[in-house]
């Protein structure tokens, strides 16, 4: 589904990704872990097409298409979704109308029927149950005055509405208490299918107890230092990141 080969990228001339290789197949869940400043979030943003980053080398194919030939909005309509670590607030734009526009843009791209406000109302009322969101949040301005947890809930609601092929969730667990994390984690699990994939970006392993990955990658200095199965997450929880970095340094010296 997603094939990343020797990807390098920079921001304002400073290299931040230094040769990433990663293969994600349909049905898989991958976790990207690493210390702060390792380039985890950057990888997500580069894949989603954030304009601040410049791709300086390598290749990314999504469903066989060259990702870098698509604008960020086209990537989204093609099925790439990013759950933001810090969703922005947009005063005056109602959450419901934003969700409907996003839904209809994707429906239009896929040749499905767009939903009018009444149809969307029925549709969205089913969806909010999945993330246990209160109805009033639909009428409020997009993320405005939402708590950190409510913003994350709203991100997963958007994911449920758009049903992406590949969802990149950046630090979903930050700002969430354990109960909210369980609700959202379960919602994400329910959305996972054989033809979809997940890329979970996280600093802490606890989210991976709920959304269980088959593959865990440790990123540092813009490179993947270690890849293994989900047991790696447990090991990181016990031992922290330093040993991976040391191991990699030793390996590099060898």
Partner 1 sequence: MNSTLNVVTSQEYKYGFVTNIEADSVAAGLNEDVIRFISAKKGEPEWLLEFRLKAYRHWLTLAEPDWAKVNYPRPDFQKIVYYSAPKQKTPKYASMDEVDPELLRTFEKLGVPINEQASLAGVAVDVVFDSVSVTTTYKEKLATVGIIFCSFSEAVREHPDLIKKYLGSVVPAADNFYAALNSAVFTDGSFVFIPKGVTCPMDLSTYFRINNKESGQFERTLIVAEEGASVSYLEGCTAPQFDTNQLHAAVVELVALDHASIKYSTVQNWYAGDKNGVGGIFNFVTKRGLCKGKGSHISWTQVETGSAITWKYPSCILLGDDSIGEFYSVALTNHKQQADTGTKMVHIGRNTKSTIVSKGISAGDSSNSYRGLVKIQPKAEGARNFSQCDSMLIGHTCSASTFPYLEVQNRSAKVEHEATTSKIGEEQLFYFQQRGIPTEEAISMIINGFCKDVFRELPMEFAVEATKLLSLKLEGSVG
Establish if 172 lies at the interface with partner 1 (CB under 8 A): no
Is 137 near partner 1 (CB under 8 A)? no
The owner of tokens 């959202």 is 184
* Residue indicated by tokens 């304002």: 12
For residue 122, how far is the Cα from the chain centroid?
Answer: 27
Segment lying near partner 1 (by CB under 8 A), choices 12-20, 95-103, 215-223, 240-248:
95-103
Stretch that binds partner 1, among 30-38, 45-53, 185-193, 223-231 (CB under 8 A): 45-53
The reply to whether 49 sits near partner 1 by the rule CB under 8 A is yes
Task: Verify binding: residue 9, partner 1, rule CB under 8 A.
Answer: no
Task: In angstroms, give the least distance from the CB of 113 to partner 1.
Answer: 16
Sequence-ordered list of residues with C-beta below 8 angstroms from that of 88, at least 6 positions apart, any chain? 143
User: How far apart, in whole angstroms, are the C-alpha atoms of residue 127 and residue 110?
Assistant: 20
- 146-152: list long-range contacts, CB under 8 Å, 24+ apart: 146/87, 146/89, 147/175, 148/174, 148/175, 148/176, 149/175, 149/176, 149/177, 149/180, 151/86, 151/87, 151/175, 152/83, 152/87, 152/176, 152/180, 152/184
Is 77 or 226 the residue whose CB approaches partner 1 more closely? 77
Is residue 118 within the footprint of partner 1 (CB under 8 A)? no
DSSP conformation class of 166: E
Both tokens of 13, joined, read: 């001339």
Least Å distance, CB 98 to partner 1, is 7
Handedness of CA 217, 152, 237, 211 (dihedral sign): negative
What's the closest the beta carbon of residue 66 comes to partner 1, in angstroms?
18
- Estimate to the nearest angstrom the gap between the alpha carbon of 5 and the chain centroid: 19
Considering only 4, 9, 84, 95, the residue that binds partner 1 (CB under 8 A) is: 84
* Window contacting partner 1 (CB under 8 A); options: 10-18, 69-77, 123-131, 132-140: 69-77
Q: Is residue 12 within the footprint of partner 1 (CB under 8 A)?
A: no
CA angle 71, 72, 76 (to 5 degrees): 115
Task: Kindly state the tokens that stand for 58.
Answer: 């390598």
* Candidate list 1, 7, 32, 82; residue touching partner 1; CB under 8 A: 82
- Pattern 212-241, partner 1, x by CB under 8 A: ------------------------------
Q: Is 91 in the site for partner 1 (CB under 8 A)?
A: yes
Q: Which residues bind partner 1 (CB under 8 A)?
A: 48-52, 71-73, 76-77, 81-82, 84, 87-88, 90-93, 97-98, 101-102, 105-106, 109, 141-142, 158, 162
């Amino acid at each position: 589904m997603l094939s990343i080969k020797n990807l390098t990228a920079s921001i304002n001339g400073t290299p931040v990704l230094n040769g990433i290789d990663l293969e994600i197949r349909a049905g898989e869940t991958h976790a990207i872990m690493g210390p702060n400043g390792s380039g985890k979030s950057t990888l997500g943003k580069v894949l989603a097409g954030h304009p601040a980053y410049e791709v300086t080398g390598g290749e990314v194919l999504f469903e066989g298409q060259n990702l870098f030939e698509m604008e960020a909005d086209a990537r989204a309509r093609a099925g790439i979704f990013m759950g933001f670590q810090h969703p922005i607030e947009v005063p005056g734009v109602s959450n419901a109308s934003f969700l409907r526009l996003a839904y209809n843009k994707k429906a239009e791209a896929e040749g499905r029927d767009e939903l009018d406000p009444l149809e969307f109302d029925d549709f969205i009322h089913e969806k909010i149950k999945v993330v246990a969101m209160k109805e009033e949040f639909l009428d409020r301005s997009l993320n405005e005055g939402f708590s950190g947890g409510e913003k994350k809930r709203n991100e997963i609601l958007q994911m449920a509405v758009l049903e992406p092929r590949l969802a990149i969730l950046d630090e979903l667990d930050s700002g969430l208490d354990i109960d909210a994390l369980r609700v959202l984690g379960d919602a994400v699990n329910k959305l996972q299918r054989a033809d979809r994939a997940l890329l979970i970006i996280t600093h802490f392993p606890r989210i991976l107890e709920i959304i269980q990955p088959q593959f865990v990658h440790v990123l540092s200095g813009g490179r993947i230092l270690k890849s293994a199965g989900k047991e790696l997450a447990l090991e990181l929880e016990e031992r922290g990141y330093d040993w991976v970095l040391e191991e990699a340094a030793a390996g590099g010296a060898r």
